[in-house]
Amino acid sequence: MRIVDWADETEGGPAVVLLDQRALPQRTEYLHLGTVDGVIDAVRSLAVRGAPSLGITGAYGVALAAHLHGTGTADARAAVRADAQRIATARPTAVPLSIGVRRALAALEESPAGVLAAARAVADEAATINAAATRRAADLVRERCPDRPLRALTVCNTGPLAAGPGGTALGAILALHADGVLEEVLACETRPLLQGARLTVWELQRAGVPHRLCVDSAGPAAIATGRVDVVFAGADRIAANGDVANKIGTYMLACAAARSGIPFVIVAPEETIDPDTATGADIVVEERGADEVREHGGTLMTLPGTPVYNPAFDVTPHELVTAIVTESRAWSPAPSASAPRIAASPH
Ligand code: MRU
């Protein structure tokens, strides 16, 4: 199943085609987006989400702009560039979105077909990148925690929906399952939009992986009481010093993992490490609308008009990160004196 794809003119296009993640797990619906505004709206409303999937969408969005405006004149190219800028800034935190846009835009002097080919390359590379990163992460954890079935905890959704074929953090968990060394996954529900409850549970069930769902605040308690051997999370942007921006709720899991001496492992494409962002303090954390917190399924859960704080992400300091695993390396950004211990917790 392609999560983000391209439809040719012969198919009624050109259009960016997305599996609408807002409808899952109840319904499997596809969006055919024939306008750049439609693509931007899908990104903002989380019809497509997850950093690598946003990168693929951004690249196809630029290909759509190139098909709609053409690329043959300076005016047409300026219009594509303006659309590209709007797509790249539709959400501020995930670095792959702007990278996907930039890579497609680099082919702008060619034909619209050239821009599409560049976008397809972004999409096609995801499978290879994810396979390498998830294998490396699974091997690292097996090495550190040998001789027993593993109980993993994860947050948000980092499977193929979020990252293309293979996924990232959830992909490492799937690799451990395929290796026959995974006992169970605890999936944090991931308030307020429930990417864990709606999407991770859906992917785990389809893959036949034993799992239980927990509320976000149960995650640290599960770690503290010895119910978890390893925490896996993805990343939206990693600063040059190793500070990690990921879904809100990640930081408390890293604190709990460090205190209990279990590995806290980030799995992400190398491109997520942003050399232009020195530390986590430089990362722009997206704040989303108040109704996401005030309401649930369209029902008001608090008093009307209650002021809300709704950051989509938090930043985990590098001291708390055991390893950042990408397609090309496993990087431990914590200074060795404060590196989280990798200890065997009692089963
Ligand atoms: O707001 P979302 O659903 O786009 O947030 C997604 C996450 O935080 C993921 O953990 C991250 O993008 C990595 S996806 C492999």
Sequence-distant (6+) residues with CB within 8 A of 122 are: 55, 56, 59, 100, 103, 104
Q: What is the CB < 6 Å shell around ligand 1?
A: 46, 49-52, 94, 156, 158, 162-163, 168, 195, 234-236, 246-247, 312
Return the ligand 1 atom nearest residue 190 CA.
3
Cα of 312 vs centre of ligand 1, distance in Å, is 9
Residues 176, 292: Cα–Cα separation, whole Å: 34
The pLDDT value recorded for residue 339 is 56
Which among 173, 236, 238 is the best mutation to test ligand 1's pocket, defined by most ligand atoms within 8 Å of the CB? 236
- Please enumerate in sequence order all residues whose Cβ is within 8 A of that of 262, keeping only pairs 6 or more positions apart, or say none: 223, 228, 229, 230, 231, 340, 342, 343, 345
* Regions of the chain short of the pLDDT cut 70: 1, 336-347
How far away, in angstroms, is 168 Cα from ligand 1 center? Answer: 10
Predicted confidence at residue 13, as pLDDT, reads: 80
- Which atom of ligand 1 lies at the shortest distance from residue 156's CA? 10
* Closest residue to atom 15 of ligand 1, CA basis: 158
Distance separating alpha carbons of residues 297 and 152, to the nearest angstrom: 29
What atom of ligand 1 comes closest to residue 163's alpha carbon?
15
The pLDDT, as a whole number, for residue 335 is 80
Cis peptide before 14 (omega within 30 of 0): yes
Q: Which domains does the chain have, with CATH numbers?
A: 4-126 (1.20.120.420), 130-331 (3.40.50.10470)
List residues bridging with 318 in a β-sheet: none
In angstroms, what is the span from residue 38 Cα to ligand 1's centroid? 21
For a ligand 1 pocket test, name from 191, 195, 231 the mutation site with the most ligand atoms within 8 angstroms of its C-beta.
195
The rounded distance, in Å, linking the Cα atoms of 249 and 160 is 21
CA atoms within 13 A on the CB side of 288: 21
CA 10, distance to chain mean position in Å, is 32
Q: Give me ligand 1 centre to Cα 41, in Å.
A: 17
Q: What b-and-e string marks burial along 272-309, b requiring 16 or more CB atoms within 10 Å of the CB? A: bbbeebeebeebebbebeeeebbeeeeeeeeeeeeeee
Contacts 24+ apart (CB under 8 A), 287-291: 287/311, 287/312, 288/312
Number of the ligand 1 atom closest to the C-alpha atom of 54: 4
Which of 53, 97, 216, 246 for mutating ligand 1's site (highest number of atoms within 8 Å of CB)? 246
Q: Give 36 Cα–ligand 1 centroid separation in angstroms.
A: 22
Nearest-atom number in ligand 1 for the CA of 169 is 15
Q: Considering 229, 236, 274, 314, which one is annotated as catalytic?
A: 236
- 179 catalytic residue (yes or no): no
256: how many CB neighbours lie within 10 A of its CB? 21
Sheet holding 313-316, edge to edge: 273-274, 237-239, 244-247, 313-316
Counting ligand 1 atoms within 8 A of each CB, the residue from 45, 158, 193, 250 with the most, and so the one to mutate, is: 158
**pTM, 2 dp:** 0.95
Could you identify the atom of ligand 1 that is nearest to the CA of residue 167?
15
DSSP structural state of residue 195: I
Longest C-alpha distance within the chain, in Å? 66
Angle at 72 between CA 66 and CA 74, to 5 degrees: 95
Please provide the DSSP assignment of 213-237 as one string.
EE-TTHHHHHHHTT--SEEEE--SE
How many angstroms is it from 155 CA to the middle of ligand 1?
9
Cα 94 to ligand 1 centre (Å): 8
Neighbour tally for 110: CB within 10 Å? 14
End-to-end, the C-alpha distance of the chain in Å comes to: 37
Assigned token pair, 7: 């439809």
* pLDDT tens digits, one per residue of 70-119: 999 999 999 999 999 999 999 999 999 999 999 999 999 999 999 999 99
Token reading at 47: 């019809």
ipTM, 2 dp = 0.99
* Contact by Cβ (8 Å): 59, 43: no
Q: At CA 198, angle to CA 315 and CA 190, rounded to 5?
A: 25
Pairing of strands 264-267, 323-325: parallel
**pLDDT for 347:** 41
